Structure 1
Amino acid sequence: MTEGDALGLVQQAIWLTMLLAGPVIGSAMVIGVGIAFFQALTQVQEMTLTFVPKIIAGFIIIMLTGGYSGSLLKAFTEQIFLRIAIGFK
């Protein structure tokens, strides 16, 4: 295994992490900005108001993208195991 192989694996792992976490984090950001805007308009400063919608949205996004995320993670894992089995050439 060369430095280039290791760097390529780390790069793929970081990219996969961004792909898997991106939809959940993006939805939480959109929900958070919307709730912050609502709180600014109504002057309701309840701290717990932001958490529940973010958690619900996160679970919904995970349920919607779970199959796709699982297939990406499975393909990456199979690629790593295959490269371990045949060697890094």
Structure 2
Amino acid sequence: MNQGDILNLSQEAIKTILMVSAPMLGFGLLVGLLVSIFQATTQIQEATLAFVPKIVAVLLSFVIFGPWMMRVILNFAKNLFININSYL
């Protein structure tokens, strides 16, 4: 295994991590922005008001995108195990 293989493998791993985490981070960011706008307009400064909706949004996005995320992770793992001979 040479440096090019290591770089390709790490690049694919990082790409997979970013793809899998993007829906949950996006939903959390969007809900956090909406809650922040709501708090600014109503001047309600409650910490749980910002925290609980983000958790619900992340869990909801996990439920919605869960099967797709599992496919992406399984494809990465399958390719990793198929090409294990070249890595050793």
Q: Which band: TM-score by shorter chain?
A: over 0.9
Check if 1:69 corresponds to 2:69: yes
List, as ranges, runs of 4+ consecutive aligned residues in structure 1 with deviation greater than 3 Å. none
In the other structure, the counterpart of 1:38 is: 38
CA distance in 2, matches of 1:40, 1:71: 40
Deviation at 1:87, TM superposition (A): 2.1
Deviation at 1:12, TM superposition (A): 0.5
In the other structure, the counterpart of 2:86 is: 87
CA distance in 2, matches of 1:57, 1:2: 42
Equivalent position amino acid for 1:68 in 2: W
Cα RMSD after superposing both structures:
1.3
What residue ranges of structure 1 are gaps of 5+ in the alignment? none
- SS of residue matched to 1:50: helix
Equivalent position amino acid for 2:33 in 1: V
In the other structure, the counterpart of 2:18 is: 18
Q: TM-score, normalised by structure 1?
A: 0.94
Equivalent position amino acid for 1:46 in 2: E
Equivalent position amino acid for 2:86 in 1: G
What residue ranges of structure 2 are gaps of 5+ in the alignment? none
Q: TM-score, normalised by structure 2?
A: 0.95
Deviation at 1:11, TM superposition (A): 0.4
Equivalent position amino acid for 1:25 in 2: L
Percent identity over the alignment is 34
Q: How many residues align?
A: 88
